[in-house]
Amino acid sequence: MCGRFVKKSSKEELRKRFGFDDPTQGVLLEPRYNIAPSQEYPVLIVSEDRRILRMMKWGLVPYWSKDPKIGYKMINARSEGIEEKPSFKTPLKEKRCIIIADGFYEWHKPDKKTKIPYYFRLKSGEPFALAGLWDLWDNGDQTLQTFTIITTTPNELMEPIHNRMPVILREKDESRWLDREIIDPEYILPLLTPYPSDEMESFKVSTIVNSPKNDIPECIAPVD
């Protein structure tokens, strides 16, 4: 599962790393330390052969859905069998996206009453690309653009904490993931694998991250 993530790099750093056009509405200017489901976030897509950022709501609402509230249950998409699932098979072919992040949180639950938050990031400290899907929902009166983050089995670092992890794309694979001419799942499913654990690190953080109202740098500060 991936239920919270962080974006703290500057717009200039992210433009250099991901090559998107300069946003016109100030998106990605402010650091975010506790991004949560149902919130709006700028997602990286390709439009007319250009990488652009588009504001979307976290929680996928399939175009055919009758009720947009389904998005609350669709913050993640399991990679296993994703090409066959009604909610994801069309976006997998036509609407793949990247969610830019500097890190993400997961909670260890050693017993029924205890939840210990951990922060995960790359050892390099660099921002990275989470594999995602997006969709457009329109019932005539309301239009929504929404996204979901794809998850896979955990690597060795993640496994003691949780049984799922978000798919982190290798930099060399990002162009293939965003290539709109590739519609055959055979060429993109191999990208949905656990990221090497020896290139990542994690540490405990404060329980202030439990509340999405706390969107402050202290959320990613290590604690004993």
- Residue 2 known to be catalytic: yes
3-state secondary structure the chain: CCCCEEECCCHHHHHHHHCCCCCCCCCCCCCEEEECCCCEEEEEEEECCEEEEEEEEECCCCCCCCCHHHHHHCCEEECCCHHHCCCCHHHHHHCEEEEEECEEEEEEEEECCEEEEEEEEECCCCCEEEEEEEEEEECCCCEEEEEEEEEECCCCCCCCCCCCEECEECHHHHHHHHCCCCCCHHHCHHHCCCCCHHHEEEEEECHHHHCCCCCCHHHHCECC
How far is it, in rounded angstroms, from Cα 188 to Cα 212?
33
| Catalytic residue selected from 2, 97, 174, 219 | 2
Q: Contact, 151 vs 76, CB < 8 A?
A: yes
How far is it, in rounded angstroms, from Cα 64 to Cα 71?
12
| Catalytic residue selected from 97, 106, 174, 219 | 106
Residue 76 sits at the vertex; the CA angle it makes with 75 and 81, to the nearest 5 degrees, is 145
Active site residues: 2, 106
